[in-house]
Chain A
Amino acid sequence: MWKNYLKVSFRNLKKRKLYSGINLLGLTIALVSFFVISLYIHHEWSYDRMYSNADRIYKFNQEFVSGGEKQLVGTTPSSLVPTLIEEFPEVETGTLVFDLSIFSSVMVNAGEGNQEESRFAFVDENFYQVFDFKIIAGQRASLLNNPNQLVLTESTAKRYFGSAQNAEGKSLKINDQEYLVTGVMENFPSNSHLDFDFLASFKTHRHGKNPEWSPSNYYSYVKLRADADLEQFKAKLPKMVEKYLGEAQKENGFETAFYAQPVTKIHLGDQSLSSVKPGTDIRYLYIFGLVALLLIAIGIINYVNLATAEATERNKEVGLRKVMGADRLQLFGQFVSESLILTAGAAVLSLLIIYLVAPQFAKLGGVPLDLTLLFSVPGILALAGLVLTVGFLSGLYPSVILSGLEPIKALGNKVKIGGGAWVRKSLVVFQFFVSIGLLISTFVVKTQLDYMQEVNLGYQKEQVVALPYHYNMRKSIETLKQEMLRTGAVESIALASDMPIFIKAGYRIFPGGDNQNEFMITGYSVDKDLVKTIGLEILEGENFLDTDLSRTMAYDSSMEYPVILNESALQQLGWNAGEAIGRKVNFGGGMAHVKGVVKNFYFNSLHHGVGPLAIFIDPEQANVLLLRLPAGNPAVHLARLEQTWKEMAPDRPFNYKFVDQEYAQLYRSEERVGAVFGLFSGIAIFIACMGLFGLVSYVALRRTREISIRKVLGATQHDVLSVLSADFFRLLGLAAGLAIGFGLWFTDAWLAAFANKASIGIWPYLYAVLIVLLLALITIGYRSWKVYTLNPSKTLKSE
């Protein structure tokens, strides 16, 4: 029986090439999209689950409460891990990671000159007990037990020493400090939130020898014992804080707490917490998952639509089979087996295509796709399940319709399948609702992204280059500045602690003598040339002077130092610009007076508004030069500046970044969502249009005779088009209406994540609807043209 089903199905599919082709292509594209998205989601979902006992590993975050404001950060003090190990029986072991790349890059010298490397971290000796990465060379137990020991990842070892085995026992000079390579580990898996090239023993670091409870610069992890009670453990943490930080809290008027976060929740968890690798907003995964399901639904709908439309052509066969004794179940089996074959074919085809597109998608989505997953046992089971589900869903409705035909009617003239038309129409509406909806979403995302790139940030980011320098160069930095200015290849240079696009450092501030009104403020340490270099607008008071610098440098705690506040800071202090100048504030533990007020500018992601900011002068904390280049080709200017740099700092690399490009980087995850939306809405439209083509083809076929008669009577091509398209355009209109409704909702939901919203207007809606309608018109137009050009004498004769 099954053999017969298969044979008949194959012949049917072969006979109806257009119909099978459209279905096969539609299902294949839908499955490719589905697989790719699934693999992506699986990758994001699998983060940090590869360590044995991953369920017992926790990372610690620290909360600061001051002036009623809470701030949760991803880093903790260096004393936390040793204390937890020492005093908590629940803790099996723990480790601390100090990601140096937050602060600066390092210079690595293997005897052939300095190379700049940024993925460098100090980790303590328990690191490989908590995270059991594979050790390729060296002894796991003794890898980083002593100062000046170093573990390389496999690819880094290859880069410097040719192979992992070669690297063991060799030494590397990092920032002029000699390190012994005691081992080589596997490369960090792409789904680990940890990612470094160099891991040095934390004992090398000052805090490694003498842990302290301030500052909070270190990632802390513990592995609890299998029998530990997590809740009990958590409940005991406040006591520890009281014991070690109680006094400091009272003195400085803040409260702090530590929270344990499962290691598996880091990647998809709170995105505001700092981590070694940027995480993924879990909402995007939901959105992508939904898009994947919608695409599959569109593919299935194509099948259902075409198969029911085609049912009118197959009623004779169905009638005959019934007359010959087929019962409903047998017919059902035949039609479902047809859709199963098609789906299985599409699955095979899509696997081939995935092999081809995986590298491209990896680029777009930013993660590698693990294709071996598709061929693992669960992968194959999932695949089989998917094929069965999709095949069954596709075949279900057409089978019910076809197998339910009454034989006598089916054998007679072509039957009109009444119920089918209604369902078919709803499905078409759904397809185009999804297509237009996705397209609107794409345009909305794009509008906001464009807006963010073009919005006036309050300073000029174009033609500004950031040049990180090492603190070793601090003494000669003024000379370097002067030399660079003399080349004429730069208009102005400022020292700063960060690029202005994203300033991170948090400080506490309160009006002089009034520590009840303390609040958190972002601090930006610069020199006097910043205002000129990035074009800030001083509203009141004045910019820093050279004398301000010398005053700060005197480090006399009795002296006040000047700060420039932004409008938001003033607002929070409750002062207006005029009266603020000269007033005292307690800022970052010292006394300061307000020297100037700067117009608000965006120094954070546009997801947030402009918070309070204090600009102060402190070259000690600066580690980047901001250079305003004159008009003209930046490459020419940079070449001249590099020459000067080489003369002044021959052993330091000249690595510059354009501030506007770095700014664009801030919105990478949004760009990614935009790109994925764009891609998949294109795919959805394509599949839907194919389905539409198929449907119109059947309508055209059924009405060939009618159209021929119309033509004989003098109908123009335009008349034929309107005969064929009138019904469809009514459906598309309905779909467009629904999609616009969805778009309005989406716009609100998406823009809610941004403090600075673009005004969307009606254009995204208009464009989306027009584009889809135009494509639909072309699809229908092509088909109606084909019918129109048929010779009526032929079509009429055959009846």
Chain B
Amino acid sequence: MIQLKEIDKYIESRFQRVFILKGINLTINEGEFITLMGPSGAGKSTLLNILGLLDEDYAGEYFFGDKSIRKMKDKERSSLHKSEFGYIFQAYHLIDELTVYENIETPLLYRSVSSTERKSIIANLLDRFNMVAKKDLFPAQLSGGQQQLVGIARAIAGRPRVLLADEPTGNLHSGQAREIMEIFQELHAEGTTIIQATHARENADFGTRLINLVDGRIETDEAIAK
């Protein structure tokens, strides 16, 4: 589904290139649940951003299906971005001015989903995450775990095939973290491809594959035994 070939990402400083990612070769198949681990600065977030088409400033080749991202037109890339990817952030990144309901609705609006369809999708999500009573609250009125649930609901509202999560449990205590991971597992079971970056080894156990990044290189890449 996704294939990265010789991906380099570097910052040009005055005297030398500082590599953030170097020589990344990676193939991701549909239905995998991948965990990226590694110390801070290893390039986990950068790799996620590149995978999610949020960062286009890199060297190397990125194939989505059999198409090269680099050869796509802006429009194609943007519609691919809209239809295939969902994002979850460590700091939740909800829009403060919008209610729970509206935050979940936003990606649907940008996908021009009809009003009735939007309502039913959001109703299902709220139901699934037990947030029906909280739909009219603003993010500031929710706990961190609840905010991240909204973040997940928002990320999957558009039914993306790939879910990208950058330290999704980094700001949560272990109970909440576990809850989030179980939801990921459910989504994975439903067929969503998930790629998460994390510091916590225990989170990797929920996935199918563990990739260790050190200094911008893939150090190990192994399947998780069930």
Query: Which residues on A sit within 8 Å (CB–CB) of B52?
Result: 323
Binds A, one of B12-20, B106-114, B169-177, B192-200: B106-114
Q: DSSP majority for the A interface?
A: helix
- Neighbouring A residues of B102 by C-beta, 8 Å: 4, 7-8
1/0 per residue, CB under 8 A from B, across A1-18: the answer is 100100110011001000
A9 to chain B: closest residue by CB: B97
Closest to A331 in B: B110
How far in angstroms is the closest Cβ of chain A from B165?
A: 13
Query: Is there a chain A Cβ closer than 8 Å to B78's Cβ?
Result: yes
Q: Are B95 and A325 in contact (CB under 8 A)?
A: no
Name the contact of B55 in the complex, choosing from A320, A325, A408 (C-beta under 8 A): A408
Q: Which of B49, B98, B112, B158 contacts A8 (CB under 8 A)? A: B98
Residue A620 lies at the interface, judged by CB distance under 8 Å to chain B = no
Quick one: which of B81, B96, B98, B105 contacts A325, CB cutoff 8 A?
A: B81
Contact of A411 among B82, B93, B96, B109 (CB under 8 A): B93
Contacts of B82 in A (CB 8 A): 325
A327 at the A/B interface (Cβ < 8 Å)? yes
A19 CB to nearest chain B CB (Å): 14
Task: Say yes or no for A653: interface residue by CB 8 A criterion.
Answer: no
The reply to whether B93 and A316 contact each other, CB–CB distance below 8 Å, is: yes
CA distance A326 to B109 in the complex (A): 9
Residues of B within 8 A of A11 (CB): 97-98
A321: Cβ under 8 A from any B Cβ:
yes
Q: Across the two chains, which residue of chain B brings its CB closest to A1?
A: B109
Contacts of A408 in B (CB 8 A): 49, 54-55
A478–B107 CA distance with the chains assembled, in angstroms: 98
Within 8 Å CB of B44, what residues of A? none
Q: How far is the CB of B187 from the nearest CB of chain A, in Å?
A: 18
Chain A residues with a Cβ closer than 8 Å to the other chain, count: 20
Bound CA span A316–B95, Å: 8
B54 touches A324 (CB 8 A): no
Find residues 83-103 in chain B having any chain A CB closer than 8 Å to their own CB.
87, 89, 93-98, 102
Compute how far the CA of A330 lies from the CA of B82 in the bound complex, rounded to whole angstroms.
Answer: 13
Chain A residue contacts of B105, Cβ below 8 A: 4
Q: Give every chain B residue within 8 A of A324 (Cβ-Cβ).
A: 87, 106-107, 110, 154
Q: How large is the interface on B (under 10, 10 to 19, 20 to 34, 35 or more residues)?
A: 20 to 34
| Inter-subunit contact B49/A327 (CB<8 Å) | no
Assess the A320–B158 pair: CB atoms within 8 A. no
Most chain B beta carbons < 10 A, residue from A323, A330, A407: A323
- CB of A341, distance to nearest CB on chain B (Å): 14
Nearest neighbor of A11 in chain B, beta-carbon distance: B97
Query: Are B95 and A317 in contact (CB-based, < 8 A)?
Result: yes
A330 to B106, CA, bound (A): 11
Residues of B within 8 A of A407 (CB): 54
A15 is contacted by which of B97, B106, B111 (Cβ under 8 Å)?
B97
Instruction: Report Cα–Cα, A4/B103, bound state, in Å.
Output: 11
Q: In the assembled complex, which residues on chain A have CB atoms less than 8 Å from the CB atom of B106?
A: 4, 321, 324, 326
Instruction: List chain B residues, Cβ under 8 A from A411.
Output: 89, 93
Please give, as numbers and ranges, the residues of chain A lying within 8 Å of B154 by CB-CB distance.
Answer: 324
When chains A and B are docked, how far (Å) is the Cα of A187 from the Cα of B34?
Answer: 88
- Closest-CB distance, A213 to chain B (whole angstroms): 81
Q: Is the CB of A4 within 8 A of B54?
A: no
Residues in B whose Cβ lies below 8 Å from that of A330: 110
Give every chain B residue within 8 A of A327 (Cβ-Cβ): 78, 110
A residues less than 8 Å from B78 (CB atoms): 327
Q: Is the CB of A4 within 8 A of B97?
A: no
Provided the pairs A407-B54, A408-B54 are in contact, do residues A325 and B93 lie with their beta carbons within 8 angstroms? no
- Asked whether B95 lies within 8 Å of A321 as measured between CB atoms, the reply is yes
- CB-CB contacts of A334-371 with B at 8 A, as 1s and 0s? 00000000000000000000000000000000000000
Cα distance A8–B98 in the bound complex, in angstroms:
7
- Closest B residue to A317 by beta carbon equals B95
Assess whether B97 is in contact with A325, with CB atoms less than 8 Å apart. no
Query: B94 to chain A: which residues have CB within 8 Å?
Result: 320
A320 and B110 contact, Cβ closer than 8 Å, known pairs A7-B102, A8-B98 = no
Q: Is the CB of B97 within 8 A of A8?
A: yes
Task: Note all chain B residues with C-beta closer than 8 A to A316.
Answer: 93
Chain A residue numbers with a CB within 8 Å of B110 are: 321, 324-327, 330
Complex Cα–Cα for A317 and B89 (A)? 14
- Distance in angstroms from A156 CB to nearest chain B CB is 63
B108-122: CB near A (< 8 Å → 1, else 0) gives: 011110000000000
Cα-based distance from A15 to B78 in the complex (angstroms): 31
- Bound-state CA distance A407–B81 (Å) is 13
Q: Quick one: CB contact mask for B59-82 with A, threshold 8 Å, 1 for yes?
A: 000000000000000000010011
A321: B residues at CB distance < 8 A: 95, 106, 110
Q: B36-51, CB under 8 A of A: which get 1 and which 0?
A: 0000000000000100
The reply to whether B93 and A320 contact each other, CB–CB distance below 8 Å, is yes
Chain B, 183-226, CB within 8 A of any chain A CB: none
Nearest CB of B to A409, in Å: 10
- Report the separation of the CA atoms of residues A703 and B81 in the bound assembly, to the nearest whole angstrom: 36
Q: How far is the CA of A325 from the CA of B158 in the complex (A)?
A: 10
| Chain A residues closer than 8 Å to B55, beta-carbon distance | 408
Q: How far, in whole Å, are A12 and B81 apart by their CA atoms in the complex?
A: 27
Q: Is the CB–CB distance between A317 and B111 below 8 Å?
A: no
Which residues of A lie under 8 Å from residue B89 when comparing CB positions? Answer: 411
CA distance A515 to B102 in the complex (A): 94
Measured CB to CB, the closest approach of chain A to B138, in angstroms, equals 9
**B125-177, CB < 8 A from A:** 154, 158
Give Cα A1 to B108, complex, Å. 10
For B45, the closest partner residue in chain A by CB is A408
B98 contact set on A, CB distance < 8 A: 8, 11
- Scan residues 483-530 of chain A and give those whose CB is less than 8 A from a CB of chain B: none
For residue B54, give the distance in angstroms from its CB to the closest CB of chain A.
Answer: 5
Within the assembled complex, what's the spacing in Å between the Cα atoms of A15 and B98? 12
Partner-B contacts on A (CB < 8 A): 1, 4, 7-8, 11-12, 15, 316-317, 320-321, 323-327, 330, 407-408, 411
Q: A323-B52, A325-B81 are in contact. List 13 more A-B contacts (CB 8 A).
A: A4-B106, A8-B97, A11-B97, A15-B97, A320-B94, A324-B87, A325-B110, A326-B110, A330-B110, A407-B54, A408-B54, A408-B55, A411-B89
What are the 10 tightest A-B residue pairs by CB atom distance, in nearest-first order? A325-B82, A325-B110, A324-B107, A11-B97, A326-B110, A408-B54, A323-B87, A320-B93, A325-B107, A324-B106
Q: List 23 A-B contacts (CB under 8 A).
A: A4-B105, A7-B102, A8-B97, A8-B102, A11-B97, A15-B97, A316-B93, A317-B97, A320-B93, A320-B94, A321-B95, A321-B106, A323-B52, A323-B87, A324-B106, A324-B110, A325-B81, A325-B110, A325-B111, A326-B110, A327-B110, A408-B49, A408-B55
